Structure 1
Amino acid sequence: MKHPFQHVLLDKTGDYFFAAAINSVFLFKFTSDGNDAKLLGSWTDEVDPYYTIRKHHRELLEQYEEQQREKAEKEASSSISNEQVNKNNKREINNQNQIPEEQIPSSTKQIMNKKPKLPLPGPGAPPTYTYIRDMCLSRNNKYLIVTTDNDKAVVVFDINYNAINNEEVFKLIKRQPMSKRPSAVSTSMDDSNIIIADKFGDVYSISMTDPVVEDDSKLIPILGHVSMLTCVQNSIDENGNEVIMTADRDEHIRISYFPKSYIIKKILFGHKEFISCFSLPEWCDGKVLISAGGDSFICSWLWQNKDEFSELKSKISIDSLVKDKLNDKHLIPEKFQSDEGNLVEYCISKIIPLNKSQQLVIIFERIPSLFVFDLTKDGELSFVKEYPVSNDIITATSSKDKLIISSDEMGQCLQFFTINDDKTLSISSHSDNLLKSIDNANNAVIGDIEELIPLFNINYLRKRREH
């Protein structure tokens, strides 16, 4: 059984297509007539799936061995001293050197008195995957950056698009481990640095091309939130200064100067629930920011406005678009349910700019439809049309006249749309051939549906308030 693609990505030319399934990344090139897709190369992350467990075990083992050495040194020192004192003094010294048992923390007692074991899952345990959490291309289309789940690493590749005869397509530059799991990734405006946001609210900047791998414990954040970060993106403000935009689970969008990110330019207030995604559409010249997440509306911002609190252009309600499409998949957790057990909720998982038609495609988690909005250069947002699809959408990507969506249907994991001159979407006439070529090349195989990696996890960002 082929695993669906949890991430898909088109390059700026629309000729190259990246797709990630579990822990593998594939690169395809579309033929000139658009009728076929040729596999150029692939990369599979072969890191130990129990990397984090083993790393933590090594740290505990080192701590245990260090404490054993200290204990041995104290005992040797105490033995020498005891030979020089009488029995009464010996008893007093020993009592001074001993720590009462009840004052030793339980975790410390275990490390001091017992060698830690490696807690690997036993027979019958569910499979552990090392999978690709995120994927993005540099602005110059030259580098691919992926983030991994198990070892919390950022992996950087130099892409050889012209590879022939099985030459190396993915040239590894470095694999940089992070102390906390990355939750979003982007690049600086000149592509010299990778910008990494993590689930604990910190943002880091590391060199794109320098192969040196730094100790993750010595990496210093360039800015921090007090909540999990969901989006990060660099841009240029109205004065020509580079800024870094970050959004978090606590409804905030912060705009800071880069690289001096400790200087906050402004914070955009308007959301009431978590922000899962934002976008800076190209046709708006970087002046308009669109953001969405767990709210019942989409925000349009003129974020460069100088007057305080004047940045919010509009809030577009989306309740009417989805209220009749909610089902058992959208029921809130039982702990927070009503007595009737019928409370539902929804969220937006992705905003896809369509540069050709100057529109946005909005994807809701676990709702099998594409929702298209018009967006003017001054930030006016309006709903245009809904395009139903066969299954729940995992993610999507667009470039030039192409829109590709990835769904959770095993036999129809990808759907290919053409963006027409009249701004409509239509199923590509080559869709069947393209799907067959790409699906045949996908060697990410699972035994049954229970082995799927997490595909729909955006709504888990929603904060729950106790009754």
Structure 2
Amino acid sequence: MKHPFQLILSTGNLLFTATKNELYVFDLKSGNKIGEWIDTFDSTETIKEKVKKEQERQLKENESKKSKTESLEEDEPTKKKRKSNNSEPKIPTPGEGAPTIYNYIRSLKLSNDEKSLIIITDSDKSGIVFKLDLSNKNNGNILKLIKRQPFPKRPNVIVTSNDDSEIVMGDKFGDVYKIQINDPELKKLDSESDPLLGHVSMLTDLIVTKQDNDQEFIITTDRDEHIRISKFPSSFIIDKFLFGHESFISNIVIPKFNNNQLLISGGGDNFITLWNWVKGEELDRFQLDDLIKPHLNELHLTPSRFQNEENNLKEYCVSKIVALEKINSIAVLIESTNQLFIIKISDNFQKLELDKSIQFDSNIVTITASYEKVFVGLDNDSNLLTSIDIETREIDQSNDIINKVQENYSVEVNSRDEFYPLYTTYQLRKRSEH
């Protein structure tokens, strides 16, 4: 059986997909695969390097202590007991019950000029930059690896600056770093490096944008309901906060229409919010309960220790919001459901209202949108991908290109037990044991 797409990203006539540690690019005119890259990085080498450095540090420390206390004459038996530091360091083995370690692609992001693709890898906590060489389309691989930049902590979200000169990366510890995108030299980043800005909890999303006066801003969200707007690159200057969410925020989007002044946010709450982020005003809230509760399933059951007496308490979260620029709307995905909501921004961009609810035969894993289509990745081994015409808001029932893409996609597994995590946004929800 084929593994579902974990991530998809579309632009123009290109569709980028990520499954496990494999990246593919498809031509949406022909359905042919025109790019591929597999992350073969061996994470055990990184662990070996860390273990070896720690061994060397301990040896130096022990020798320093010994030199201060031992006599000038050292007996021969003691020398023979010394261990050589040239031996291969042992790799720590996780004990029973330890969480599974996954090495997979965590994020796909295009630069603003759509000439570069930036991804996040799990194997070595890196941001990787590819140039898109469309002249190499007929040779089967348009991906040209430019840079692999390791970060001190695991990256969580990555974008480029407005002029595409820099990568801006947020990590799971709440810090944001920036590096030059075209500089082939790796920037030396470690735990002592100064971040661009920091949150006190896990950073979940970020956007770099600007106003009409060319003042640049970085908008960051975290697991603690915060939306922070800071000057960029002088991000120590906080411009404002957007308050209103009561749970984690998983996704924010700034559509291109209405002069980039609108921001839509969603996450663990039962609503999504429309903001004028320039003025710091909440414009509208769109309530989700009535729409989604009839479609919740066993995947939404609250963990047993937080359940109610009837053992039927369910929770849901927004996992993805994409802008549909052609029709001044957004598409909203609720994790682990088969529903996709098209929500229109109406009343002179002041209000959110339901345009259409679209139901699929399987749960939706992820979505992306081009100007004409919404592409939907499904949790279905025989139908992994489908599309929706944005103009009509109808599912394309017969699409030869989509079928060709699926034929040219080749990540096979023996069973669902080999699937990498498909639904992970819900893990952002904070819980109290008391």
Aligned equivalent of 2:10 = 10
Verify: 1:407 aligned to 2:398, yes or no: no
Q: Can you list the C-alpha shifts for 1:6-34, whole angstroms capped at 9, x where unaligned?
A: 110112xx211111111111111122xxx
Bigger mean CA deviation after superposition, 390-399 or 52-61: 52-61
Partners of 1:130 and 1:267 in 2: how far apart?
35
Residue identity opposite 2:21 in structure 1 = N
Q: In structure 2, do the counterparts of structure 1 residues 434 and 65 end up closer, same or farther at CA, with 3 Å as the change threshold? A: farther
Task: Work out the percentage of aligned pairs sharing the same amino acid.
Answer: 39
Aligned equivalent of 1:247 = 221
Match of 1:29 among 27, 50, 70: 27
How far apart are 1:318 and its partner, in Å?
1.1
How far apart are 1:55 and its partner, in Å?
3.9
How far apart are 1:456 and its partner, in Å?
0.4
Verify: 1:152 aligned to 2:100, yes or no: no
5 Å matches for 1:301-450?
A: 301-305=275-279, 311-376=281-346, 377-420=348-391, 424-428=392-396, 430-431=398-399, 433-450=400-417
5 Å matches for 1:288-307?
A: 288-305=262-279
Q: Secondary structure at the match of 1:356?
A: helix
Residue identity opposite 2:369 in structure 1 = S
Residue identity opposite 1:254 in structure 2 = R
Match of 1:64 among 58, 65, 75: 58
Aligned equivalent of 2:80 = none
Asked if the contact 1:155/1:176 (under 8 Å) is kept, the reply is yes
Q: In structure 2, do the counterparts of structure 1 residues 71 and 447 end up closer, same or farther at CA, with 3 Å as the change threshold? A: farther
Bigger mean CA deviation after superposition, 160-169 or 17-26: 160-169
Aligned equivalent of 1:89 = none
Structure 2: tracts of 5 or more residues without a match: 75-84
Q: Can you list the C-alpha shifts for 1:75-129, whole angstroms capped at 9, x where unaligned?
A: 5xx30399xxxxxxxxxxxxxxxxxxxxxxxxxxxxx9x9963224699x99854
Verify: 1:175 aligned to 2:152, yes or no: no
Partners of 1:119 and 1:415 in 2: how far apart?
43
Q: Can you list the C-alpha shifts for 1:325-351, whole angstroms capped at 9, x where unaligned?
A: 122111111111112211111100000
Residue identity opposite 1:403 in structure 2 = V
Verify: 1:79 aligned to 2:71, yes or no: yes
Asked if the contact 1:346/1:364 (under 8 Å) is kept, the reply is yes
How far apart are 1:49 and its partner, in Å?
4.1
Give me the TM-score of the superposition, normalised by structure 2: 0.91
Residue identity opposite 1:328 in structure 2 = E
Aligned equivalent of 1:227 = 201
Asked if the contact 1:61/1:115 (under 8 Å) is kept, the reply is no
Residue identity opposite 1:161 in structure 2 = L
Partners of 1:264 and 1:122 in 2: how far apart?
44
Aligned equivalent of 2:116 = 143
Verify: 1:166 aligned to 2:139, yes or no: yes
Residue identity opposite 1:53 in structure 2 = I
Partners of 1:299 and 1:47 in 2: how far apart?
40
Give me the TM-score of the superposition, normalised by structure 1: 0.85
Asked if the contact 1:51/1:151 (under 8 Å) is kept, the reply is no
Partners of 2:106 and 2:38 in 1: how far apart?
13
Q: Can you list the C-alpha shifts for 1:137-173, whole angstroms capped at 9, x where unaligned?
A: 0000000000011211000011112214426521111
How far apart are 1:52 and its partner, in Å?
4.7
The size of the alignment, in residue pairs, is 421
Partners of 2:33 and 2:212 in 1: how far apart?
42
Verify: 1:465 aligned to 2:420, yes or no: no
Aligned equivalent of 1:185 = 158
How far apart are 1:378 and its partner, in Å?
2.8
Q: In structure 2, do the counterparts of structure 1 residues 373 and 127 end up closer, same or farther at CA, with 3 Å as the change threshold? A: closer
Aligned equivalent of 2:170 = 197
Aligned equivalent of 1:19 = 17
Asked if the contact 2:264/2:275 (under 8 Å) is kept, the reply is yes
Structure 1: tracts of 5 or more residues without a match: 83-111
Say which one has the larger Rg.
1
Partners of 2:283 and 2:176 in 1: how far apart?
28
Asked if the contact 2:255/2:263 (under 8 Å) is kept, the reply is yes
Partners of 2:409 and 2:100 in 1: how far apart?
20
Q: Secondary structure at the match of 2:410?
A: coil
How far apart are 1:62 and its partner, in Å?
2.6
Q: In structure 2, do the counterparts of structure 1 residues 147 and 439 end up closer, same or farther at CA, with 3 Å as the change threshold? A: same
Asked if the contact 2:44/2:91 (under 8 Å) is kept, the reply is no
Bigger mean CA deviation after superposition, 358-367 or 208-217: 208-217
Asked if the contact 1:23/1:129 (under 8 Å) is kept, the reply is no
Q: Secondary structure at the match of 2:257?
A: helix
